[in-house]
Amino acid sequence: MSELLQVEQLKAEPGERVDGYLTVAEMQDGSPVRLPVSLVNGAEPGPTVYLQAISDGDELNGIAVIRQVLKRLDPARLKGKVIAVLMVNFHAFHAHQAFSPADGKKMNRCFPGRQDGTSSERIAYRLFHHAVRQADYCIDLHQGGVRPMIDEVRVRVDRRKRIHRACLELARVFGIGYILDSKGPDGQLARSGPEEGIPTIDPELGGCHGWDEKSIQKGITGVENVLKHYGLIQGTPHIPERQVVVDGFFSVLANRGGFIEYHAELYDHLQKGDPVADITDPFGNVLETLRAPEESIFWSHNLRPMVASGELVGMLGKNIWYV
């Protein structure tokens, strides 16, 4: 028999799903800041998976993924527990931006949080200590902001750490096909989780305004792959036999100002010297052709079709290997 699942005052008995809100802060007028949380406690024991979305306030694909995953989860058949925080960065979400306007911070630089810190640090502290630390596996759903990006998953822990292997395996099981394996900055949940011994990944589900249906579908498959692989739900995960791994990026910068005409598309596997884009003047004359400096994957590009000199045109994933 499974045990009670509890996050602060929210409680779910074995075989039960409970949706509710955690009050984590106060607004300027004293009204409560409440985060929507879902607890799904399987009838049978098994691992605990923590999911969160909207750590960056304008990255909305993750909440669409979690809602669909929850809809399809049956607590009577679940072997284990799922803790889902559907919206982490309340202040940033309401401001339609990545950063919290309450302290100007990015939530994903604030983990594991501080009890007496700034607004984002306090919220991170509550979630990390009361929810994340109960988990055996942790998935922090992100996307490349509003800039177009491929669907990929990130491993942010130092390769020399022992837990790196478990994080990379979790990324492989997520099965989205493209992995960035690169130590992240301090304060990322995908670094703080592993420091507590919890394998953690940071899926990046495309980049768009609003919801992108294709990226959301890949996110649902990824989360369900994890639930299947680690035995929480029945079924065979859909994991590609060969997935691309890169360990960093080349930045493709414009030397001239103008309009971008892309030669390459996202996901293209480029060889050294392949053209990425032309920079053109307002009349359409080509000012320069930007090329891949090495073999690489076209990972993300500019939102708008114009750039100033020195502005980013695109990012290319480098040092390709496969898992």
| Contact stretch for Zn ion (CB under 5 A) within 89-97, 115-123, 137-145, 251-259 | 137-145
Residue 108 CB, shortest distance to Zn ion, in Å, is 6
Interatomic CA distance for residues 55 and 138, integer angstroms: 14
Of residues 110 and 233, the one with the C-beta less far from Zn ion: 110
Residue 56 CB, shortest distance to Zn ion, in Å, is 4
Residue 62 CB, shortest distance to Zn ion, in Å, is 9
- How are the residues of the chain apportioned to helix, strand and coil, as percentages rounded to the nearest 5? 20, 35, 45
Under DSSP, the state recorded for 23 is E
Of residues 174 and 230, the one with the C-beta less far from Zn ion: 174
Residue 109 CB, shortest distance to Zn ion, in Å, is 11
Of residues 142 and 218, the one with the C-beta less far from Zn ion: 142
Residue 229 CB, shortest distance to Zn ion, in Å, is 24
DSSP 48-83: EEEEEE-SSTT--HHHHHHHHHHHH--TTT-EEEEE
- Alpha helices per DSSP H over the chain: 61-72, 90-94, 119-130, 164-174, 189-195, 213-229
Contact assessment for residue 287 and residue 313, using Cβ atoms and an 8 Å cutoff: no
Residue 142 CB, shortest distance to Zn ion, in Å, is 3
Would strands 306-307 and 286-291 be described as parallel, antiparallel, or unpaired?
Answer: unpaired
| Contact stretch for Zn ion (CB under 5 A) within 12-20, 134-142, 190-198, 279-287 | 134-142
| Contact stretch for Zn ion (CB under 5 A) within 55-63, 74-82, 205-213, 298-306 | 55-63
Residue 6 CB, shortest distance to Zn ion, in Å, is 28
Of residues 59 and 121, the one with the C-beta less far from Zn ion: 59
Draw the binding track, 56-85, toward Zn ion (x: CB under 5 A; -: no contact): x--x--------------------------
Residue 124 CB, shortest distance to Zn ion, in Å, is 14
Phi, psi (degrees; rounded to nearest 5) at 38: -120, 130
Q: Supply 134's token pair.
A: 């109960």
Under rule CB under 5 A, residue 142 binds Zn ion: yes
> How many of the chain's residues bind Zn ion (CB under 5 A)?
3
Q: Supply 314's token pair.
A: 């695109």
114-120: long-range contacts, CB 8 A cutoff, minimum separation 24: 119/25, 119/91, 120/89, 120/91
Q: Supply 80's token pair.
A: 């284990």
Under rule CB under 5 A, residue 212 binds Zn ion: no
Of residues 59 and 224, the one with the C-beta less far from Zn ion: 59
Of residues 14 and 145, the one with the C-beta less far from Zn ion: 145
Of residues 152 and 278, the one with the C-beta less far from Zn ion: 152
| Contact stretch for Zn ion (CB under 5 A) within 52-60, 156-164, 190-198, 309-317 | 52-60
Of residues 89 and 302, the one with the C-beta less far from Zn ion: 89
Residue 169 CB, shortest distance to Zn ion, in Å, is 23
Interatomic CA distance for residues 163 and 185, integer angstroms: 17
Among 170, 176, 212, residue whose Cα is nearest residue 63 = 212
Q: Residue 315 forms beta bridges with which residues? A: 251, 300
Of residues 2 and 120, the one with the C-beta less far from Zn ion: 120
Interatomic CA distance for residues 312 and 143, integer angstroms: 18
Environment class of 9 (CB within 10 Å of its CB; exposed 0-12, middle 13-18, buried 19+): exposed
User: Which residue ranges make up the site for Zn ion (CB under 5 A)?
Assistant: 56, 59, 142
